[in-house]
Amino acid sequence: MEKAIKRYWPIFLIPTMAAFLIGFIVPFAMGLWLSLCEFTTVTDAVFVGLKNYIRAFQDPVFLHAFWYTALFALVSLFIINIFAFAIALALTQNVPGTNLFRTVFFLPNLIGGIVLGYIWQLIFNGVLAKYNAALALNEWYGFWGLIISVSWQQIGYMMIIYIAGLQSIPEDLQEAARIDGANARQRLFHVTIPMMMPSITICTFLTITNGFKLFDQNLSLTAGEPSKMSEMLALNIYNTFYGRVGWEGVGQAKAVVFFVLVVAIGMIQLRLTRTREVQQ
């Protein structure tokens, strides 16, 4: 069959590949190269070696964004997954109104980051105004504001994945544990959670990488206020490119560091949880 279809390759491959070249491969390769150059537009790029990387790591705002983002990703990882898992467990116990609850919890996921950030900005500033405070006054208000709004958005998504995982656990496994005298807690920790490791792998992977890549909510909810103290990595890179003339190369170097970081964390995370998956 291969022979018969092989000569049709232009029709099947060219449209996607041409767009993929424009939309990904060329920008990616150019990005790698430009991180080693000084430039304002591409035509005036001059090779400067690792200078941009050195400048990136000397930028205190970038270093602040670095650990602020890491902390955010870690806290959101735990909060989102614990809530999502608990809700998924509750919704698979035949409680009345399961479908309605599932609908409500998933809804915020479809609302985009910009819209979502401004919705929550109104709420947080309304609450904080009672105490004569505002989101833009303290980086930790912004931090917890981001945690709450991102949790609001992502818990429903992870819940769906956990529900699918819970429904695929064979009923007789739970039954066998029950007959052997295991109580509800023992069943949770020794049957349900080990069987759920594939879902947990996916959800923790998604939440931690989403946490590192967060941009829209950061821009709309706090925009980095007060004075860039709540600026996360993605927003910092954006502001380096478009906010400071002469720093384009540094912005690109930061973007490469960011890319390597996200890939490395994703890999480490996958390795950590994959080893705990049990064979069925």
Residue among 76, 220, 230, 239 that touches other proteins (CB under 8 A): 220
Contact status: 262 vs other proteins (CB under 8 A) = yes
- Least separation in angstroms between CB 235 and other proteins: 9
Q: Tell me the site size for other proteins, rule CB under 8 A.
A: 94
Residue 63 contacts residue 54 (beta carbons within 8 Å): no
Contact status: 9 vs other proteins (CB under 8 A) = yes
Residues 228-247 that bind other proteins (CB under 8 A): 233-234, 237-238, 241
Stretch that binds other proteins, among 53-61, 64-72, 98-106, 188-196 (CB under 8 A): 98-106
Residues 63-92 that bind other proteins (CB under 8 A): 87, 90-91
Contact status: 181 vs other proteins (CB under 8 A) = no
Contact status: 6 vs other proteins (CB under 8 A) = yes
Contact status: 34 vs other proteins (CB under 8 A) = yes
Residue among 54, 58, 78, 103 that touches other proteins (CB under 8 A): 103
Stretch that binds other proteins, among 59-67, 102-110, 139-147, 187-195 (CB under 8 A): 102-110
Contact status: 30 vs other proteins (CB under 8 A) = yes
Residues 105-124 that bind other proteins (CB under 8 A): 105-115, 118-120, 122-123
